A and B are shown apart, each in its own frame.
Chain A
Amino acid sequence: MTQQPVSIPEPRPMPMPAQARPMGQPVPPNPDAAVSVRGLYKRFNEKVAVNGLSLDIPVGSFYGLVGPNGAGKTTTITMMTGMLKPDAGTAMVLGHDEWSDVNRAKQSLGLMPQPDQIFDLLSGIQLLTYAGMLRGLSRAEVMRRAKDLLVAFDLTEAAHKSVSDYSAGMTKKICLASAMIHNPPILVLDEPFEAVDPISSANIRDILQEYVTAGGTVIISSHVMALVEKMCTHVAIINHGQIAAAGTVEQVANGGDLEERFLQLVGGRHGAARLAWLDAGRDHGEASASRHEGGER
């Protein structure tokens, strides 16, 4: 599957998948894609979080979703994974309509829970056993996979400790492990490297790369452009709840640096703004002195 980068002309274009299509005819979701969404729309009170977003994520890709804060990345992911019902639009996971049988679609997905979306009173191994058994795996198989995952994520020593006693990085790793335990064809990870130390981060990257090599699809959201450029095969830049550009990393970067391209598409970067009072606390001594003098007077 090939996708052409789409940049934002003014005014913003109607969101559309990368393929060319006749005007006025909606393009149906792509059944060959790992995830295919069309016209996703979500509004929270007055705020439109996702505004008619369409996207195809190819099978076997390492797909990065990037965008500024509040761009709609997390909302898109939650709607893609059946965790939030869109107000409009469709989502297809491996050729099956997500919302016609959402629990079936979820079997194909490995969504990484956020650290506060797990039962942290359980020990690490209990949490993985819970995640695996919930997915219908046999206890014996879950135990085998849990032990492998704990080794892979360097959590063996903490396996029997309560997750509430884990560091932020360890918690992130156990969350990721719980998303992988049922060997899903698609992994969806929201900011997976946040708070993870460089060594663990490198290990996780290796695991994910291996997973993609084996035919899996990884969808990650991240703010770290260098990481996306380094790891991902494809990237979509989301801004104001719409796709600003999507395609392979090379296509979106358009021969330049991905971060520069991102800034160019998203905009909002200020010039060399200078806050007159922000002088590393130099005025602090003076202000204190004048207050002191004032007090004496």
Chain B
Amino acid sequence: MIATLARLRWTLTLRAFTTSPWQIVAYVLAVLMGSGCVGAAVVAAVVLGQGPALGGDSATWLHALRAVMVCCGTAMLLVIALLQIMVLGEGSSMTLRKFEIYGIPDTRLQMGLTVAGLCGLPSIVGTLALLCWAPGYRWMGTAAVLSATLAAPLIIVTFMFLCKAVTALATTLVRSQRGRNMFYIALTLFVIVCAQVPGLILNNEGAISIRMEDFAGLTNVLGWLPLGSLFALPFDAQAGHWGLWVLRILVAAVFCAVCFAVSVWCIRHERLLTDPAGGYKAAKGVGMFAHVPDSPSGAVTARVATMLRRDPRQGMMFVFPVLFIAIFALESHGVSAVVWQAVIWIGWVLCIPESNGLPYDGRGFAMQVIAGTSGKQDRIGRVRLYVVMFVALYLLMAVAIFLITGDWKTAQGVEQGLAFTVIGFSAALAALGVSEWFSTVFLYPVPSIAKPFSSPQGRVAAQGFFPFLYILLSIVVMAPTIGVAIYALVAQVSAWTWLISVVAVVNGAGILMLGTWLGAKTLDKRELKILHTLEEFAALSK
């Protein structure tokens, strides 16, 4: 059974290649990235394996390497585990539910799925990279190298057990739609904040001093925790602490057993429960449909607004303004312009989901096609909503930043704040214009709304590339404003705030109109093709 599931994983992967050449492209990219990781590990092992010969004494090398391997190894595995839940989820092809009807004993099924996970490309790359890194300990002796070689697959196995348990728990415990939305948003925020911590620490080095000794205590603790314990094996071997060496392996083994038990418990729990209880609470009236213009485009506005409120995949974007302002405020060192410039980035980031708006609509887009809604009605309906939201959002952000920076106290501060707000708003309009066209041409699959923690096959490559392309375009279309801003700075124009603001408004509004018009035309032309593409995306998420 276990071997069958492992084979099934590869059969599904190979089968996916025949459905679309993009699957092959994405996989080749993944292989290249994996090869890069392995190559980097080889280089690191060759260079750092010389140890103290490179400079410094053995004791310092030992302490530093131990701290880096145990602390960074643990942190990296934790971040990957979090990303696994948030971005990749349980995977859409081999979920527990798909095997429910076969009556496979829970332990065998879970073990099969874990082994199938271990046979995947990420696990293979991870194991190879760690194996290639093992000679990096050669200056510590043969025992250390052998221990690292043994630890390499064990680390990946432990990590896989952790991932399976965490994903199963996330899927099983967060059952209601509302709970799932909250969990998704909280998790995303947590990852973003975690990613910002090193930057914040380094930026505030005056306030926080970090010494090697501070890491020693942390390394000792993490060295006895399951994810760090295996990274500490070469150091025990080098010191000849074979008792500790065995104990650390036992810690990881017990952890794997606990994770496995949790995963199996989740399967049982899932099986005994029916579908997620309770979706959204009953709404009164028709909600947004009562407050929009009485027209097809009004219907689109109301529908998109209602979906945005209920869709965790898009709704979480609106947490970014708070996050951006908070992060830039912490890093501003009293320079208010650093905080103000956040409003320029926010517009671009907020429009990322809209730049792929139709796949978020999914097959529901068929309702518009059935009704014969024109591209113009659709685009105007969407633009109306975003413009209204941007107006409210930029006003709120301006007020918040004025209060944080205290710029409202001086005329110069007020002028600067208003200029940034207007420029930011204009950039957001331009980004929206780009999105309205972009989303009719470049579509990539998104996780299904019912399973925001799942990953449609072949999504990762496109999901990384297309948003990048969209942001690049959004910046390029603001070239007139950027050009004028550079000129104003170089020529030291005294009324630079007014000059740039006026150009930005014309630039942003112009791109919005152009993008909306072009998007409408393209949508009219490609409507059926888009519908077909959305159907293919929906099939990927099944």
* Interface residue SS majority, chain B: helix
- B 299-341 binary contact with A (CB < 8 Å = 1; else 0): 1101100110011000000000000000000000000000000
Q: How far does the Cβ of B360 sit from chain A's closest Cβ, in whole Å?
A: 11
Residues of B close to A84: CB separation below 8 A: 528
Inter-chain contact B367/A118, CB cutoff 8 Å: yes
Listed by A's residue number, 29 A-B pairs whose Cβ atoms lie within 8 Å are A103-B373, A106-B371, A106-B372, A107-B372, A113-B366, A117-B370, A118-B367, A119-B307, A120-B364, A121-B307, A122-B303, A122-B306, A123-B286, A129-B286, A129-B299, A130-B302, A130-B367, A131-B367, A133-B289, A133-B296, A133-B302, A135-B371, A136-B295, A139-B290, A160-B283, A161-B282, A162-B279, A164-B280, A164-B450
Once the chains bind, are B372 and A104 in contact (CB under 8 Å)?
yes
Residues in B with CB closer than 8 Å to A122 are: 303, 306-307
Asked if B284 lies at the interface with its beta carbon under 8 angstroms from chain A, I say: yes
Interchain CB contact (< 8 A) of B296 among A117, A134, A165: A134
With A and B bound together, what is the CA distance between A58 and B290 in angstroms? 39
CB-CB < 8 A to B295: which residues of A?
133, 136
Residues on B with C-beta less than 8 A from A85 are 528
Interfacial residues of chain A within 121-171, with CB under 8 A of chain B in the complex: 121-123, 125-126, 129-131, 133-136, 138-139, 143, 160-162, 164-165
B405 within 8 A of A: no
- On whether the beta carbons of A134 and B368 are closer than 8 Å, the reply is yes
A116 at the interface (CB under 8 A from B): yes
Measured in the bound complex, the distance between the Cα atoms of B498 and A63 in whole Å is 67
B214 partner residues in chain A, CB cutoff 8 A = none
Q: Restricting to B29-73, which residues have a CB under 8 Å from any CB of A?
A: none
The chain A residue sitting closest to B290, CB to CB, is A139
CB proximity to A under 8 Å, residues B361-402: 361, 363-364, 366-374
Other contacts beyond A123-B287, A162-B282: 7, CB < 8 A = A85-B528, A114-B363, A121-B311, A134-B368, A134-B371, A135-B296, A160-B283
B538 contacts partner chain A, Cβ-Cβ < 8 Å: yes
- A222 interfacial contact with B, CB 8 Å: no
* A130 and B538 contact, CB distance less than 8 A: no
**Is A126 touching B283 in the complex (CB atoms < 8 A)?**
yes
Q: Quick check: is A82 within 8 A (CB to CB) of the other chain? A: yes
State the B residues within 8 Å of A (CB): 177, 278-280, 282-287, 289-290, 294-296, 298-300, 302-303, 306-307, 310-311, 361, 363-364, 366-374, 449-450, 528, 531, 538
Residues of A within 8 A of B286 (CB): 123, 125-126, 129, 143
> Would you list the 8 A-B pairs with minimal beta carbon distance, nearest first?
A106-B372, A133-B299, A103-B372, A117-B366, A134-B371, A119-B364, A160-B282, A162-B280
Q: Which residue of A lies closest to B301 (CB)?
A: A133
Bound: A120/B310 CA distance, A? 11
> Is B364 a contact of A126 with CB atoms below 8 Å?
no
Decide if A121 touches B374 in the complex (CB within 8 Å). no
Note all chain B residues with C-beta closer than 8 A to A130.
289, 299, 302-303, 367
Q: Is A102 an interface residue (CB 8 A)?
A: yes
